[in-house]
Amino acid sequence: MKNILVTGGAGFIGGNFIYYSRKKHPECRIVCMDCLTYAGNIKTLEPLMNSESFRFVKVDITDRENVFKIFEEENFDAVINFAAESHVDRSIKDPSVFLTTNILGTQVLLDAVNQFGVKRFHQVSTDEVYGDLPLDRPDLFFTETTPLHTSSPYSASKAAADLLCLAYHRTYKTPVTISRCSNNYGPYQFPEKLIPLMFVNASSDKPLPVYGKGANVRDWLFVDDHCKAIDMIVRDGVVGEIYNIGGHNEKTNLEVVKTILKTLSKDESLITYVNDRPGHDMRYAIDPQKICDELGWYPETKFEDGIAYTLRWYKENEPWWRAILDGSYRK
Ligand code: NAD
Ligand code: TDX
């Protein structure tokens, strides 16, 4: 793996993955392809811009001509596809771009992988493709064979992309792997997602909008543990296989919000219950046994440590998120 393409690397997980990979495999060259939607932030990658082993290209993954041009120039060993529209609430308001980027964009990349004989295409998917689990069945978990049962236009578009990857593998022998991870948290997450949004609001003593009763459960994983898993799958995973990633760390939204308030020494009266998200998934819970057994992956960061680190990062990197709030990051 000498030259890899990371799509969506100006976003949250892709950006963290680039930093993770450079530390773990300093010999490896990384090309980041990102069209810088509202969720992409070039500031995240600024320290790398003058590095010889890094290249940033502002290209939309749905732009076949320019995507193919970069593949022709670069001769990639592997492609890791993080680029996506990723926010469930936005997909409920306007599904179109989710279908275009998440499905058709994936198709363009798969076609380029076939055309240029790239040795591995890794699709970064999500546990949301499995739908949700009931709160009163803590014995149930998503495994790789749990049927797809999506709830939002976002998750439907991610499931469609997964099916496309598997179809390309079967039909064209495209060397794909897929990972389905639970909710990530960590540095550089856009402040529309639960944890950074609550941090930002609490910091300014603004109300914290909790959907419904705050009883929905998410299975939180520190972003570096996700990056470690993807790196292992790309290098040692079996082509055609799906790997679930999660750390058995289930929390209700209310628990997470209260932890943030406590850490910031803010009052719980900031919590404001608002209308529920339509089609809101109740519980996500991943069974990661396969990746643990087959690749020896395990999560290293305990939630208590990871959330403390993350909140400290947001405190110390106020210019990063202030530029998002005032819109100047787009310039
Ligand atoms: P994000 O929204 O923070 O970042 C997405 C990035 O993709 C942005 O930099 C954006 O500019 C780029 N992008 C969007 N459309 C593009 C296009 N058409 N062409 C090129 N670039 C484009 O997302 P994230 O939270 O980092 O998620 C990354 C991937 O991981 C997504 O595929 C998501 O479905 C998946 N995932 C996320 C989580 C999570 O908790 N955030 C959990 C599991 C899986
Ligand atoms: O203001 C809010 N209030 C609230 O109660 C927001 C933004 C969220 N929530 C709730 C909804 C969810 O139950 O918090 C939970 C987490 O919400 P999000 O941060 O929007 O994440 P989620 O919908 O769980 O999806 C995330 O995990 C799976 C990522 O955004 C997806 O990209 C990933 O696939």
Give the C-alpha separation, 324 to 72, whole Å. 34
Residue the block writes with tokens 């289930």: 250
Give the C-alpha separation, 129 to 131, whole Å. 6
149 to 153, 277, 281: CA distances (angstroms): 12, 18, 11
Integer-rounded Cα Rg, in Å, for the chain is 19
pLDDT at 59: 99
Put simply, whether the predicted model's pTM sits higher than 0.85 gets the answer yes
Span 30-67, pLDDT tens digits: 999 999 999 999 999 999 999 999 999 999 999 999 99
CA of 84 to the centre of ligand 1 (A): 4
In the 8-state DSSP scheme, what is residue 100?
A: I
Confidence of residue 148 (pLDDT cuts 50, 70, 90): very high
pLDDT at 72: 98
Helix (H, G, I), strand (E, B) or coil at 194: helix
| pLDDT above 90 coverage of the chain, percent | 99
pLDDT at 164: 98
Span 250-274, pLDDT tens digits: 999 999 999 999 999 999 999 999 9
The answer to whether residue 16 sits within a structural domain is yes
The answer to whether residue 213 sits within a structural domain is no
Is 126 near ligand 2, meaning CB less than 6 Å away? Answer: yes
Span 82-140, pLDDT tens digits: 999 999 999 999 999 999 999 999 999 999 999 999 999 999 999 999 999 999 999 99
What is the CB < 6 Å shell around ligand 1?
Answer: 7-8, 10-14, 34-37, 39-40, 60-62, 82-86, 101, 105, 124, 126, 158, 181, 183-184, 190
Say if residues 177 and 238 touch (Cβ distance below 8 Å): yes
Helix (H, G, I), strand (E, B) or coil at 290: helix
Q: Which two tokens stand for residue 174?
A: 């495209």
Q: How many CB atoms lie within 10 A of CB 26?
A: 8
| Average pLDDT, rounded, for the chain | 98
Say if residues 284 and 131 touch (Cβ distance below 8 Å): no
Q: What's the CATH code of the domain at 78?
A: 3.40.50.720
193 to 89, 138, 198, 253: CA distances (angstroms): 10, 25, 8, 12
- Active-site position among 127, 162, 250, 281: 127
CA of 124 to the centre of ligand 1 (A): 9
Say if residues 36 and 60 touch (Cβ distance below 8 Å): no
The answer to whether residue 274 sits within a structural domain is no
pLDDT at 196: 98
- CB pairs under 8 A, 24+ apart, for 22-26? 22/48, 22/53, 22/54, 24/231, 25/1, 25/231, 26/53
pLDDT at 218: 98
The answer to whether residue 263 sits within a structural domain is no
Residues spanned by the domain of 40 = 3-190+221-248+279-303
The answer to whether residue 202 sits within a structural domain is no
The answer to whether residue 240 sits within a structural domain is yes
pLDDT at 266: 98
The answer to whether residue 207 sits within a structural domain is no
The answer to whether residue 114 sits within a structural domain is yes
Ligand nearest to the CA of 189: 1
Q: How many domains does the chain have?
A: 1
